């Protein structure tokens, strides 16, 4: 079997070569396929999310609810070995208190915050304002490193997919 061997790579879990198995000091997972995600850029993660959304649209067809598409996208990402958190509360700091300003649909691999929409004709200004509100709240957070991509993905009424990505 000719598999890629991850040598001296701290996120390597387990790979096989012709006659041996290479294991790292990290724990292996029986749930996730062996996939190195530490070198994935935010752009790579966004592309996975777009692929997952396209897969959901192809498999389920148009006119599904937002929550159905959200489940399908999150399952696709899970199967790809990517960390995906659904329904992420987004807080804004005000007068020393945290105020809930919204709930984002998906946070993927700590690299992309995605707002999903379904059954509209186009991405509206309201959706764009929402993603910028989330971006502003995240940027005020000292643990946000600025590499996070903020995007809206719309499953349109006509059965296509639209993407809006917030400017850097």
Determine what percent of the chain is predicted with pLDDT higher than 90.
59
Q: Tell me how crowded residue 25 is: count the other CB atoms within 10 A of its CB.
A: 6
Q: Are residues 12 and 65 in the same domain?
A: no
pLDDT at residue 37 in the model: 53
Mean pLDDT along residues 147-160: 94
Indicate if 79 and 160 belong to the same structural domain.
Answer: yes
Asked if residue 128 and residue 85 are part of one domain, the reply reads yes
Return d(Cα 25, Cα 135) in angstroms, integer. Answer: 36
Instruction: Tell me: do 13 and 74 sit in the same domain.
Output: no
What SS3 class is residue 134? helix
Indicate if the pLDDT at residue 7 is higher than 70.
no
> Mind listing the pLDDT tens digit for each residue in 12-55?
444 444 444 444 344 455 554 545 556 788 899 999 999 999 99
């Amino acid at each position: 079997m000719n598999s890629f061997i991850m040598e001296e790579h701290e996120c390597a879990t387990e790979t096989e070569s012709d006659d041996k198995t290479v294991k790292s000091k990290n724990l292996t997972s029986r749930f996730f396929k062996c996939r190195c995600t530490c070198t994935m850029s935010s752009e790579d993660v966004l592309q996975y999310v777009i692929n997952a959304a396209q897969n959901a649209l192809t498999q389920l067809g148009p006119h599904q609810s937002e929550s159905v598409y959200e489940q399908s996208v999150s399952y696709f990402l899970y199967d790809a070995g990517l960390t995906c958190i659904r329904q992420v509360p987004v807080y804004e700091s005000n007068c020393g208190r945290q105020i809930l300003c919204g709930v984002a649909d998906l946070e993927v691999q700590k690299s992309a915050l995605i707002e999903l929409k379904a059954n509209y004709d186009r991405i509206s200004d309201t959706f764009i304002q929402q993603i910028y509100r989330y971006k502003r709240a995240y940027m005020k957070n000292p643990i946000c490193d600025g590499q996070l991509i903020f995007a809206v993905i719309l499953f349109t009424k006509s059965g296509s997919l639209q993407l809006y990505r917030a400017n850097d």
